[in-house]
Amino acid sequence: MANTAELFEWKGTTCVKLCAGGYEAWVANEIGSNVIRLRDNVNGLEFFRFSEDNTADTIKQSAEVWGLPTLYLPNRFADGILKTSDAVYQLPVNEKAPYNNHIHGFLHKRAHEVVEYKADDNCAWVKTRYVYDEKDEFFKYLPVRFTAEYTFTLSEQGMEQNIRFINTDGMKVLPMSLASHTTINSPFVDGAKEEDIRLTVPIGKRCELNERCLPTENLKVPTMHDLEYKNGVKKPVLQVVDNEMYFAEYADLDGEKFHGVIAEDIASGKKLCYEVSEEYGFWIIWNDRGFNHYFCPEPMTAMIDAPNLSLPADVTGYREVKPGDVFETHERFFTKL
């Protein structure tokens, strides 16, 4: 079948539907360029948490836990404070006591613009963009102008997501920590059972968190519990997995180094593969108490609260984008049989 890219209305929001290589993706530009649906129609895989009964408003109200939301600034900042090399910003405290943190930023809640959508014989793609400046209500907390550009490409290789942040401020550095709050459907294979899911995450040391879900700066050697991820025997649902954060290492996929995670339905042998670029130095695993039919292997470019920690930036992953410079990351989702 011919590859296609088309604009369509889905329950009150605009989306671009891409079809190519047996995959289908719905990119909701008005909900933070969230990929609210990704399917392998040939092999029967529903990658992300999706419900036919949903409305656009349902997703907008909880944009972190549907589809593939991109978070800037992700996870938690203690007391809402964000320290950069040239400023100290006070972000709103939107996670109340006992946590008292700022959580997850704002970009995944904004309406982005569609720049282009097309298809050819090789693939289908859409480009979206968000320009952040004084017109955004968050600017009073973080007055640093930037442009975020997204490109989603669908082909026989699966779905690729490329994200670019351009610091357009001219004066101040742009603090950079980026994450995907990736919601994997459970089960992700049509007709499968949740108890048959196994998750492989190539973990290094564990980053210990305190009762506010903030790093203690104690980096722990993996225990037998942690090594379930590395050994590919972790059951990511039907039990509680609560903000387990690790340094990212490499897995093996078909005899080659693989920087990503692999979820397998052991009954069918079908694998959901999630590859990320090396800028993503950390994985956080979370599953919303384990019985809500999804789990989140979240790649982050930096630790939780990274700019405020005493650990060096080459450990925390914290970066700053200078005026005029660009920060870029890449992800890919695909099926293996």
Convert the pLDDT of each residue in 181-233 to its tens digit. Answer: 999 999 999 999 999 999 999 999 999 999 999 999 999 999 999 999 999 99
Q: What per-residue confidence (pLDDT) applies to 328? A: 98
Lookup: tokens for 170: 């001219």
Lookup: tokens for 158: 């699966």
CA-nearest of 246, 232, 311, 319 to 285 is 246
Cβ 188 vs Cβ 333: under 8 Å = no
**What's the chain's Rg over C-alpha atoms?**
19
Q: How far apart, in whole angstroms, are the C-alpha atoms of residue 260 and residue 320? A: 24
Burial label, 275 (beta-carbon count in 10 A; 0-12, 13-18, 19+): buried
Q: Which residue has the tokens 């939780």?
A: 304
Q: What is the pLDDT of residues 30-57, one digit of tens each?
A: 999 999 999 999 999 999 999 999 999 9
Cis before 98 (ω within 30): yes
Q: What percent of the chain has pLDDT over 70?
A: 100
Q: What per-residue confidence (pLDDT) applies to 89? A: 98
Residue 266, C-beta contacts closer than 8 angstroms, at least 6 positions apart: 196, 197, 198
Q: How many CA atoms lie less than 13 Å away from 300 in the CB half-sphere?
A: 31
Task: Pick one of 2.70.98.10, 3.40.50.300, 2.40.50.90, 2.60.40.3080 as the CATH number of 4-336.
Answer: 2.70.98.10
Q: What per-residue confidence (pLDDT) applies to 51? A: 95
Residue 52, C-beta contacts closer than 8 angstroms, at least 6 positions apart: none
Cα 236 to chain centroid distance, Å, stands at 17
Q: How far apart, in whole angstroms, are the C-alpha atoms of residue 101 and residue 79? A: 5
Cβ 316 vs Cβ 304: under 8 Å = no
Q: What percent of the chain has pLDDT over 90?
A: 99
Mean pLDDT of 62-90: 97
Q: What per-residue confidence (pLDDT) applies to 1? A: 80
For residue 32, which amino acid is it?
G
DSSP 201: -
Dihedral sign of CA atoms 192, 195, 198, 204 in order: positive
Entry pTM:
0.98
Residue 106, C-beta contacts closer than 8 angstroms, at least 6 positions apart: 72, 136, 138
Q: Which residue has the tokens 């196994």?
A: 198
Cβ 283 vs Cβ 318: under 8 Å = no
Three-state DSSP class for 92?
A: coil
Question: What are the φ/ψ torsions at residue 13 (nearest 5 degrees)?
Answer: -140, 155
CA distances from 196 to 188, 206, 254, 295, 313 (A): 10, 26, 21, 14, 39
Q: What per-residue confidence (pLDDT) applies to 204? A: 98
- Angle, CA of 86, 306 and 304, to the nearest 5°: 145
| pLDDT of 114 higher than 90 | yes
Query: What is the overall mean pLDDT for the chain?
Result: 97
